[in-house]
A and B are shown apart, each in its own frame.
Chain A
Amino acid sequence: MVRVRYDDVTKRYGNEIGAKNIDITVDDGEFAVLLGPSGCGKTTTLRCLAGLTDPTEGEIRIDGTDITDRHPKNRDIAMVFQELALYPHMGVAANIGYPLKVEGVDKATRRERVEAVTETLDIGELLDRETDELSGGQRQRVAIGRAIIRRPSVFLMDEPLASLDAKLKVEMRNEIKKLQRELGITTLYVTHDQEEAMTLGDKLIVMNDGTVQQVGTPAEVYHDPANQFVAGFIGSPSMNFLRVRREAAGSQRVVAANDATFSFSVERLPTAVGDTEPFVLGVRPQYFSVHQSPIDGAAKAEVTVTEPMGDEQLLTVQFDGDGREIAVRAPFDVGVTRGDTIWLGISGERAYVFDVETGARIRQTELSTDTAVPTGSRP
């Protein structure tokens, strides 16, 4: 049982905040992914657990034992670095076996375990090579081998796939996932790549500006974002955000907040949204319905760019008399070209409402029963 717990951890660099009030738990055997844009504090958070960075405040526990003031080598943690950090003056076998050598394991046992690990990673034939003779993917495997050979209680990875090309990335991603399942080692993985995060993680920890924005399963952070940042960060192309208000008191129609250049019907607007105050409406590109003739409750818009993408096409659309551009995904058979006029509607359950000031999500007071989305726990 290895359970990692961050208890109100804060790291300051002088006046700058590295990470603030981090309060998260990673359960035994769980694959947790720290996700966020660069500079969001995800690497700082990871390094605090490794002991490479000392938190300014707070405690980190592994299985209830406070390890905050412990030397990294006494934490039973292994890490794969973004730069991989293979020892250039050692061969493959020496690199992988090094943690055991430091631990004082005898040569024969070491060799045995190195062979076992390389077997698992499918790099048995590389044992006697020098590290500079390896390809990117092979170097990756050696770095992973060096991390798992000790059977650490926690396994950390800091953007390990960042330097690989797209195809290799997908391949290694699957491999890491498989390996983690087999070994059952509690894992924390840092990335800025949401696709990587979604496919790898049991649990996503989305961070921004040094703070945790949301913790949840990939489905939860996608379908039930806690705030405007998470909603905009997860999903590609990004969610569209429109500043709107109700058209009239109690109306289910919204209009552009300042100039009413467009209007939509949105079912089930949260009752918490007042009648005249502006709010942010978030709609993913694929949740617009595209019509080529006027239809009630839809907003008139003009197509400015079309990008065919196989089964679908991505339209860039501008509302009438309004500079704002939004992205819309439509089936490929909707025959529109640049300059065409279309009407956009919204399927009600898929529009999100956020507070203008704080970006916090404003939810339905009564949750609809027919939503397809699992609504899970939130922090």
Chain B
Amino acid sequence: MATDTQPSREVGRTLLAGVERIHETLDSYGLVPTVTNGIALLFVVWTLFPVYWMVSGSLRTRSDLLATPPKLVSTALTVENYPELFVQRPAFYEFLFNSVVVTVGSTALAVLLGTAATYGFVNYEFPYNLGRFHLPFLVLTTRFLPPIVTVIPLYVIFDTANLLNTRLGLVLAYAAFNIPFVVWMLKGFFAELPDSIVEAAVLDGHTELGAFFKIVLPMVRPGLIAATIFTVINAWNELLFAVILTSNTEAQTLPVALATFKTAYAIQWELLTVAGTIAMAPVLLFAFLVREKLLRGFTMGAVR
């Protein structure tokens, strides 16, 4: 990784010297703020433009959207594409419903089981040092495991267990994939709890299980919220499992519908932009509401 081999050091030094010279030149003309603000602006435009383009596309007519050269701003906005999507593809109601059910169900399950397990592993003694040594490794491997590795045998397993094409199947699969993630996010919160808090609660009249629900959970609430946020986003956005484990509107989610949109129809971009916007909107809104927590989570490395 960060081996200090001579050549790489040399390159780095030259690079830094170059940056330093540019910086000094700019500085002598008083241009540093202009340049940095300019780069920041470029970053913002680069980041937001694709999103803007899809959202604005959903509010345009087909010809307006696909005009050559592209019209960056449209004068003729329309909302007709929205009802049109559901008229032409009524199944989108079901996709939406499936997405909501699978997201809520799998998040509830993953957070519940993940939280209980983390608390158990961190706060109790286990044979073979299960909690202290093996748990982090288990979490590490399952977090880093490419999902394609398990999903193929899982397809065969689901086939015999009659779980293909069911929301329950997806709920279980997503929960399983998010549990290690929840464990990873909560480990630190539970490790910080002093033992005596639970003991105090027990002497105050709780059972240990009661103390877990009444005292411990409220104390790790920030962690629970963060874990829930990331689990919701993961579940809402997931494609691989959904596309393999479901094949019709019984259980297919929005990402599957989006990914297979063009095979079912010739690309109707005016409708696909609507579908894409519908798929983005909830997470974007959600992300805006909890941006502080998201920011902290991402900077910790909370990414699947």
A residues adjacent to B (C-beta < 8 A): 50-52, 71-73, 77-79, 81-85, 87-89, 98-99, 102-103, 146
Given contacts A89-B221, A146-B204, list 16 more A-B pairs with CB under 8 A. Answer: A50-B199, A50-B203, A72-B199, A72-B202, A73-B205, A79-B200, A82-B196, A83-B196, A84-B196, A85-B199, A87-B197, A87-B200, A87-B219, A102-B204, A102-B205, A102-B206
| Other-chain contact of B199, A52, A89, A99, A146 (Cβ < 8 Å) | A52
**B282 interface residue (CB < 8 Å to A):** no
List, in ascending order, chain B residues with CB within 8 A of A50's CB. 199, 203
- Beta-carbon contact of B205 and A99 below 8 Å: yes
The interface residues of chain A lying within 8 Å CB-to-CB of B196 are 81-85
Q: In the complex, how many angstroms separate the beta carbon of B168 from the nearest chain A beta carbon?
A: 35
Chain A residues within an 8 Å CB radius of B218:
89
List 22 A-B pairs, Cβ < 8 Å: A52-B203, A71-B207, A72-B199, A72-B202, A73-B203, A73-B204, A78-B203, A78-B204, A79-B203, A81-B199, A81-B200, A83-B194, A84-B196, A85-B196, A85-B200, A87-B197, A87-B219, A88-B219, A98-B204, A99-B204, A146-B200, A146-B204
Closest Cβ of chain B: how far from A98's Cβ, in Å?
Answer: 5
| Residues 269-301 of chain B, each 1 if its beta carbon lies under 8 Å from chain A, else 0 | 000000000000000000000000000000000
Q: Which residues of the other chain, A, contact B199 by a CB distance below 8 angstroms?
A: 50, 52, 72, 79, 81, 85
Q: Which residues of B contact A82 (CB under 8 A)?
A: 196
Contacts of A84 in B (CB 8 A): 196
Chain B residues whose C-beta falls within 8 Å of the C-beta of A78 in the assembled complex = 203-204
Interface of B is mostly: helix
Contacts of A99 in B (CB 8 A): 204-205
In the complex, residue of chain A having the shortest beta-carbon distance to the beta carbon of B206 = A102
Contact A85 B206 (CB under 8 A): no
Binary interface profile of B, 228-266, with partner A (CB < 8 Å = 1, else 0)? 000000000000000000000000000000000000000
Chain A to chain B: the 3 pairs with minimum beta-carbon distance, closest first = A102-B205, A85-B200, A85-B196
Distance in angstroms between the alpha carbons of A50 and B195 in the assembled complex: 14
Is B215 an interface residue when CB atoms closer than 8 A count as contact?
yes
Contacts of A87 in B (CB 8 A): 197, 200-201, 215, 219
Give the complex CA separation of A85 and B219 in angstroms: 12
B210 to A, closest residue via Cβ: A102
Residue of B199, B202, B203, B206 ringed by the most chain A CB atoms within 10 A: B203
Q: Are A77 and B194 neighbours in the complex by a CB distance under 8 Å?
A: no
Q: Give complex CA distance A99, B199 in Å.
A: 13
Contact string, B39-78, partner A, CB cutoff 8 A, digits 1/0?
0000000000000000000000000000000000000000
Say whether, besides A83-B194, A85-B196, A87-B197, A72 and B219 are in contact (CB < 8 Å).
no
- The chain A residue with its CB closest to the CB of B215 is A87
Query: What residues of A have a CB within 8 angstroms of the CB of B215 in the complex?
Result: 87
Shortest Cβ distance from B221 into A: residue: A89
